[in-house]
């Protein structure tokens, strides 16, 4: 199983998301695909090697809709999220894994109990898994990439648009759903900031689905974030959507991330 597999829990949980400066790129002259992918691979390496511990405010909105679009339920949870890049020595190599911990502050505007645990559909790992499992130097080979002629604007940034799909000849990307493991086969689009060649957005659908699921989609938006004196491109939002085969019920989950700060062990932030 690939170390950067996408993992889904309950509804979905994604494991595994850059920082470096490159010359500005003309928005009217898209670079060759190879150059863009090489830059993203460099960002992935820099991200893994230099990302410090951080805290932020996570606002999680979980919604369920009937097949005809009627909202059945909704819950908003606000948490303090701590992110740590864990580095371990194994057989002379450094292994990097990303760890998220949450302290729930409020649920639907009311103070949460100290031991409250979030349940239901949610994304865990948007900070590293999705980015690295697509754009690290090794993982890029698991996909077929197409640089489109389009130039689009994402949050006031001019972006190259790259379509991608899983390479059917490779079998390294997996995900788990309700305790079972599946080979991942997905397709989607990535928007890459033309000036910095950082990932601004990724949106994709899983095609190899469990029998109980008829539709599964993910989207993560990234933006530059200051952590101390350094700047990293980190998620500002993550969206997932899942539809049940049996009932047609649709689960939609939106994570919004704000108030990033470098973690020192003593920081306290308010939502």
User: What count of other Cβ atoms lies within 10 Å of the Cβ of residue 139?
Assistant: 21
61 or 178, which is more confident: 61
Average pLDDT over residues 5-22: 36
User: What count of other Cβ atoms lies within 10 Å of the Cβ of residue 208?
Assistant: 13
Position 152 in a domain: no
Residue 98: per-residue pLDDT:
84
Condensed to tens digits (0 to 9), the pLDDT of residues 140-185 reads: 999 999 999 999 999 999 999 999 999 999 999 988 788 788 999 9
Position 199 in a domain: no
Residue 212: per-residue pLDDT:
95
199-206/110-111 β-pairing: unpaired
Does position 15 have pLDDT exceeding 50, yes or no? no
Condensed to tens digits (0 to 9), the pLDDT of residues 228-266 reads: 999 999 999 999 999 999 999 999 999 999 999 998 765
Does position 62 have pLDDT exceeding 80, yes or no? yes
Average pLDDT over residues 194-206: 97
User: Which residue in the block uniquely carries the two structure tokens 């389009």?
Assistant: 150
Position 137 in a domain: yes
Residue 93: per-residue pLDDT:
61
The set of long-range contacts for 46-50, using a CB threshold of 8 Å and a minimum separation of 24, is 46/18, 46/19, 46/20, 47/17, 47/18, 47/19, 47/128, 47/131, 47/132, 47/232, 48/85, 48/96, 48/128, 48/132, 50/19, 50/230
Position 78 in a domain: yes
Task: Report the alpha-carbon distance of residue 166 to residue 134 in Å, rounded.
Answer: 10
Domain that holds residue 103: 47-141+166-189+207-262
Position 122 in a domain: yes
Position 223 in a domain: yes
First to last CA, the chain: 38
Does position 79 have pLDDT exceeding 50, yes or no? yes
Average pLDDT, the chain: 85
Residue 244: per-residue pLDDT:
96
User: Which residue in the block uniquely carries the two structure tokens 């949980």?
Assistant: 13
Does position 55 have pLDDT exceeding 90, yes or no? yes
Residue 264: per-residue pLDDT:
79
Residue 9: per-residue pLDDT:
38
Taking the whole predicted model, whether its pTM rises above 0.95 is answered as no
Q: Rounded to the nearest 5 degrees, what angle is found at the Cα of 227, between the Cα atoms of 26 and 264? A: 170
Position 220 in a domain: yes
Number of domains in the chain: 1
Position 257 in a domain: yes
Task: Report the alpha-carbon distance of residue 156 to residue 141 in Å, rounded.
Answer: 30
Condensed to tens digits (0 to 9), the pLDDT of residues 107-133 reads: 999 999 988 988 887 776 688 889 999
């Amino acid at each position: 199983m690939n170390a950067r597999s996408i993992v889904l829990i309950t509804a979905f949980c994604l494991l595994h998301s850059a920082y470096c400066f490159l010359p500005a790129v003309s928005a009217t002259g898209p670079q060759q695909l190879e150059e863009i992918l090489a830059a993203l691979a460099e960002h992935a390496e820099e991200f893994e090697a230099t990302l410090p511990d951080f805290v932020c405010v996570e606002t999680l909105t979980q919604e369920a809709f009937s097949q005809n679009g009627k909202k059945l339920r909704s819950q908003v949870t606000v948490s303090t999220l701590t992110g740590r890049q864990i580095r371990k020595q194994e057989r002379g190599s450094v292994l990097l894994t990303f760890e998220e911990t949450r302290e729930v502050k409020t649920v639907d505007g009311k103070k949460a109990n100290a031991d409250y645990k979030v349940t239901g559909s949610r994304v865990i790992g948007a900070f590293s898994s999705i980015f690295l499992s697509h754009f690290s130097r090794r993982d890029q080979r698991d996909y077929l990439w197409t640089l489109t002629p389009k130039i689009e604007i994402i949050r006031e940034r001019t972006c190259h648009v790259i379509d991608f799909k899983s390479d059917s000849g490779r079998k390294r990307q997996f995900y788990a759903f309700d305790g079972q493991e599946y080979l991942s086969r997905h397709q989607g689009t990535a928007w890459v900031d033309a000036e910095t060649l950082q990932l601004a957005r990724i949106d994709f659908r899983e095609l190899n689905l469990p029998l109980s699921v008829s539709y599964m989609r993910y989207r993560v938006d990234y933006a530059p974030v200051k952590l101390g004196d350094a700047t990293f491109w980190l998620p500002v939002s993550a969206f997932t959507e899942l539809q049940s085969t049996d009932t047609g019920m649709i689960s939609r989950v939106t994570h919004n991330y704000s108030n990033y700060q470098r973690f020192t062990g003593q920081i306290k932030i308010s939502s």
